[in-house]
Amino acid sequence: MGTLWTDRSEWGKSMYRREHYERMWSYSHDLSAYSDEELEDVFEYRHGGERIWKAFAIWEQVKRTGEKEGKEANFQAPTVDATAFIGQIEKFLQRQIDKFLSRIDRKLRDR
């Protein structure tokens, strides 16, 4: 029963998580346009904006190193097919419901 409740609450939060990660992705393209406080809020990292700047400086260095060595530095946002994603979630939830109902059925038969 707890698993169903957790799955239900996670399903409700999923759209907000996606919006949050998309917002983080958009902020990461132009850090200089935002204050340290805004960066801390968006990235949920409360140790100072300078640490966020340092992390992205390391990321840029890794990208440049990969480009110099002829390696592909692919840091594109993943694309998600919403229909397929929802279908997977629905299948997962249906399996969880089926498991739950079969457990209840077994307990009722055992009585």
Dump pLDDT digits (tens) for 20-68. Answer: 888 888 888 788 888 888 888 888 888 877 888 888 888 778 777 766 6
pLDDT above 80 (res 105)? yes
Helix, strand, coil content of the chain in percent (nearest 5): 80, 0, 20
CA distances from 37 to 23, 25, 31, 56 (A): 15, 17, 12, 16
Q: What is the pTM of this model?
A: 0.43
Q: Which of 74, 60, 10, 61 is nearest to 30 (CA)?
A: 60
14 residue type, one letter: S
Instruction: List Cβ neighbours of 93 (8 Å cut-off, separation of 6 or more).
Output: 7, 8, 11
